[in-house]
Structure 1
């Protein structure tokens, strides 16, 4: 009920596009930094933001850390794009998402592991978790995807589906590396696609990172480290409780921040502005600092390809809120229309 209450308030609160963009951007940066930090990334929050904004290309001896941050940012942008377009939850989506996390946005979808993976304690070297054997991974992943799609049709609450998708992916551990980051992104995808994105104003990754003992402890639902010794049939109540309580917390914080901001912006937005979708609102906010924009401005702020940006700009011109300046010039500029 706390989740639903916060969601209803944020969905209907009249925030300006500039404030929406700021809150979403800050949450994205925190999600990127803390999700990679959980896996051992050594960049600070400030350094991660410098990498994201291309203000600093690298840090001595931390090329891998820089790459992880860039890849996670790109993966998060892709998740938001898929969610906005209601892309179906499939194994192909999972493989494409993991490839971005591990190798970058131009990489081919990655196949599941072909050998055994072992999670060990970093200090003692002892086995923490032994996932399913490679021969069982494809079947288990197919079953997970079928369950998620059936659960959606059966009306199981979306936050619970997101929680269980996160848990089951991490449990199967279908790759040698990048499983934790991909699991957290999949949960975000389910939440955003099915109405629990909260405009992207929250970061669960930040709270996972601040209390790793609770995060990992809730995922370890069975005392035995071997998947085949009870993990598949374990009681998942502890994990569900952890995930729901945390989601309630971050939703409430996002709601409180939005309410605080709206008190400084009393006038209600006109109908034309309220009809703009998320990406249009982000681009609209660019005009708070400049009178005209170019396609590269849009590509940078949305994290999309030039081809996709051209499609969107053409649509927005046809919708009537953008106009093209200097049409004879190959490098077109755009400004707001009279409305």
Structure 2
């Protein structure tokens, strides 16, 4: 039987640096703390993959998730732009000079194109990371952004400090180029090693994220580069939608995100359990969120079909059918009787009928459980079919 000491040596690779002493690359974690969550994620992802998703809905999901993810990964680093503004910039990037906040979003839009579509074949060879690839990620992320201590894609040669007292204290990564260069070479060899590949795509992606952020090789864009490397590994490993969702939940759990980093960096014996536990939590939140979104789209399609059935069987009129379909286009929207004759969205349907007829329409739809009434407001009943 192997001793704990031998096991630790097999799980931890140390790199001796010039100024920073030993730096560890570790795949040492408590399997029982992570394994159950990974199994649950894979089960949920298989169920997600089995759902019928129309190409138009898949494309819409990609656009929505990428917008939210870019907003999240940029906001973590202090970008002040709203999610709506992020969407506008991605849809139509401004021409010419841009403010830093806008340029960050435009840059991220370019790099996110790397994983909008996951390979269909999950048995394909693993994606091998190179220093050139990591440098290129950073080049794209930080292009056309002025920073006094950073040249896109170039390793830094100055001291930086990461974190704050609110999240477990500051961390000082390796300080000089003479340390960062051998560390990055060792990192790439390690993340592509048979031992790390055997950990599986999910754990490998998390280890890449954590250790690249730990080394912090660039003067700017390190967090975004680390999260995007994770996303690329997940995407190339055959996971769709998940890679673009992760940063949104990192942002929503930003305090826990920073704390997981600091707990892992300060852990005894280079144990990376804390970060992997947090990573698995984000995986589960991501897959559950995407399942809900796809289920909702499927429900909408089913409702539209049911509305057509109700029309064909004379349960509802053409005008009532068209009203229901209009409401489905605006999730969360409620209407009152007055809205039918004043809201420009509904006026074309109700300009030629009396208020009494409009009231009768709403009452009939309510009696058929096609809409729900709350006080004077009506909304579609998404669960009319159960």
TM-score (norm 2): 0.59
| Alignment partner, residue 160 of structure 2 | 117
Matched, 1:239 2:275: yes
Inter-partner Cα distance in structure 1 for 2:213 and 2:160: 12
| Alignment partner, residue 37 of structure 1 | 75
- Contact 1:79-1:189 at 8 Å conserved across structures: yes
Inter-partner Cα distance in structure 2 for 1:103 and 1:240: 31
Matched, 1:133 2:175: yes
> What are the residue-to-residue correspondences of 1:160-309 with 2, within 5 Å?
160-196=203-239, 198-199=240-241, 202-221=244-263, 233-265=269-301
Inter-partner Cα distance in structure 1 for 2:264 and 2:55: 46
> What are the residue-to-residue correspondences of 1:91-110 with 2, within 5 Å?
91-103=131-143, 110=153
| Alignment partner, residue 87 of structure 2 | 49
Inter-partner Cα distance in structure 2 for 1:141 and 1:168: 10
| Alignment partner, residue 74 of structure 1 | 110
SS in 1 for 2:263: coil
- Contact 2:68-2:248 at 8 Å conserved across structures: yes
- Contact 1:120-1:128 at 8 Å conserved across structures: yes
Counting matched residue pairs gives 253
Query: Structure 1 residues 178, 143: CA separation in 2 closer, same or farther (over 3 Å shift)?
Result: same
Query: Structure 1 residues 212, 22: CA separation in 2 closer, same or farther (over 3 Å shift)?
Result: same
Deviation at 1:87, TM superposition (A): 5.3
Q: Deviations over 1:144-164 (max 9, x none)?
A: 212221257742121111111
Inter-partner Cα distance in structure 2 for 1:9 and 1:211: 25
Query: Structure 1 residues 250, 257: CA separation in 2 closer, same or farther (over 3 Å shift)?
Result: same
Deviation at 1:128, TM superposition (A): 1.1
Query: Structure 1 residues 17, 81: CA separation in 2 closer, same or farther (over 3 Å shift)?
Result: closer
Inter-partner Cα distance in structure 2 for 1:89 and 1:223: 23
Matched, 1:90 2:127: no
Query: Structure 1 residues 26, 263: CA separation in 2 closer, same or farther (over 3 Å shift)?
Result: same
Q: Deviations over 1:275-305 (max 9, x none)?
A: xxxxxxxxxxxxxxxxxxxxxxxxxxxxxxx
Inter-partner Cα distance in structure 1 for 2:226 and 2:82: 22
Aligned with residue 61 of structure 2, among 11, 23, 28: 23
Q: Deviations over 1:172-204 (max 9, x none)?
A: 0001110001111001011000122x2458511
TM-score (norm 1): 0.66
Matched, 1:147 2:190: yes
SS in 1 for 2:193: helix
Inter-partner Cα distance in structure 2 for 1:122 and 1:68: 27
Inter-partner Cα distance in structure 2 for 1:96 and 1:102: 10
Inter-partner Cα distance in structure 1 for 2:301 and 2:194: 40
Query: Structure 1 residues 21, 81: CA separation in 2 closer, same or farther (over 3 Å shift)?
Result: closer
Inter-partner Cα distance in structure 2 for 1:249 and 1:264: 23
Structure 2 unaligned spans of 5+ = 1-38, 146-150, 303-386
Deviation at 1:248, TM superposition (A): 1.3
Deviation at 1:260, TM superposition (A): 3.1
